[in-house]
Amino acid sequence: MILDRLDQAARYEVLHPRFAAAFQYLRRPDLAEIAPGRYEIDGSRLFALVNVDPGRGPKGTRLEVHRRYVDIQVSIDGRERMGWRPLAECRTPAEPYDAARDRALFADEARLWFPLEQGEFALFFPDDAHSGLAADGVLHKMVIKVEL
């Protein structure tokens, strides 16, 4: 997992060939005006998912993991609260891996909770179990999916 400010994202662009394009997309001046939906940046290899959803609080979320994609999560409006636990420590499956959704869910508790403020990003690799939407109130957020 990486947690940092978007203005520091350039230091991570060398970690994956598509990270530069992902962070360039996140630097758009109209980010707050992007409506909910899916936006292809480089087909299925790199795309953005924008959602406006009510926060569920920590008890209303599950840890999830992905095998095919890295997540770069950003709060556009609202204060996100994220949970994290290493996948190696997850012992209680809630839903088996679904290849079509690239997702498995776990009922384990997050080991760490942290706020994700506007102007920050959280980057989750396949060995990072994570949960979002644990905030109070409505969140406008973007998740960039970067194919491994």
What average pLDDT score do residues 37-54 get? 96
46 Cβ contact list (under 8 Å, min separation 6): 18, 21, 22, 40, 144, 145, 146, 147
Q: What is the CATH class of 2-147?
A: mainly beta
Pairing of strands 63-65, 103-106: antiparallel
Separation between Cα atoms, residue 82 and residue 32, nearest integer Å: 20
Where is pLDDT greater, at 59 or 41? 41
pLDDT in tens, 50-89: 999 998 888 889 999 999 999 999 999 888 999 999 999 9
What are the extents of the domains in the chain? Answer: 2-147
Q: What is the pLDDT of residue 64?
A: 97
